[in-house]
């Protein structure tokens, strides 16, 4: 009976661990981020990203929305250029969920995998995507900030893909500009 009560919790933990997003960022400590007010996309960098043109559009729209929400303005004469880079790799999770119950050592009811139990092996294959967002100072053409987000990519529809990309971008750009 206790196992049945724990089953929903185990499913929730499994689902949230697969959907988590790991985010990190790095920046030039000498850069004055408060001077940056305008942005544009760095076409040469974005063209090199190894995702479909549809996904590039989704990523760029999400970045634009986040930067506009932060008070930046899109401009033909920007203070910063925004570039992206992507990577993906196939991942496999193997979980061995063994449980056995019976009389154990010592007094009372205990754990004994040879007496009674079950063996449940879960194999889960998914694509892990990594999105790099680079902010480049336009005046001196130097990278001043980089945000990186990695997480599972499981999209069965364009709408779900768009939502996942928005989530990636929002969490990455939550750390930009640094110190705010």
Closest by Cα among 171, 170, 161 to 52 = 161
- pLDDT tens-digit series, residues 57-97: 999 999 999 999 999 999 999 999 999 999 876 667 677 76
Task: Give the Cβ contact number of residue 63 at 10 Å.
Answer: 23
- pLDDT tens-digit series, residues 24-41: 999 999 999 999 999 999
Query: What DSSP element (H or E) covers 91?
Result: strand 80-103
Q: What is the structure's pLDDT at 6?
A: 38
Residue 71 lies in a domain: yes
Residue 14 lies in a domain: no
Task: Give the Cβ contact number of residue 67 at 10 Å.
Answer: 21
Q: What is the structure's pLDDT at 101?
A: 53
Mean pLDDT of 146-161: 86
Residue 109 lies in a domain: no
DSSP secondary structure string for all residues of 105-128: SSSSEEE-TTTSEEEEEEEEEEEE
Residue 179 lies in a domain: no
Residue 155 lies in a domain: yes
**CATH number for the domain that contains residue 82:** 3.30.160.670
Tell the residue number behind the tokens 């119950």, with chain if given. 101
Residue 4 lies in a domain: no
> Angle, nearest 10°, between helix axes 158-173 and 53-69?
40
Domain count within the chain:
1
Residue 17 has pLDDT above 50, yes or no: no
Residue 129 lies in a domain: yes
Measure the CA–CA gap between 134 and 145, rounded to whole angstroms. 6
Taking CA 122 as the corner, what is the angle to CA 117 and CA 125, rounded to the nearest 5 degrees? 175
Left (φ > 0), alpha (ψ -120 to 50) or beta: where does 99 sit? beta
Domain interval for residue 53 = 20-93+124-173
- Per-residue tokens: 49: 């990203």
Residue 51 lies in a domain: yes
């Amino acid at each position: 009976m206790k196992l049945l009560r724990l089953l929903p919790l185990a499913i929730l933990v499994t689902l949230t661990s697969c959907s988590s997003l790991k985010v990190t960022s790095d920046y030039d400590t000498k850069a004055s981020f408060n001077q940056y007010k305008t942005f544009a996309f760095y076409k040469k960098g974005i063209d090199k990203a190894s995702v479909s043109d549809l996904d590039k559009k989704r990523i760029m729209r999400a970045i634009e929305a986040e930067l506009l929400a932060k008070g930046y303005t899109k401009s033909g004469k920007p203070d910063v250029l925004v570039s992206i880079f992507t990577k993906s790799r196939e991942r496999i999770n193997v979980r061995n969920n063994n449980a056995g119950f019976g009389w154990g050592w010592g007094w009372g009811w205990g754990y004994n995998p040879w007496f009674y139990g079950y063996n449940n092996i879960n194999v889960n294959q998914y694509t892990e995507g990594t999105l790099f967002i680079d902010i480049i100072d336009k005046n001196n053409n130097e990278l001043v900030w980089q945000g990186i987000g990695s997480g599972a990519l499981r999209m069965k529809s364009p709408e779900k893909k768009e939502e996942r990309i928005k989530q990636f971008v929002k969490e990455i750009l939550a750390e930009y500009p640094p110190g705010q």
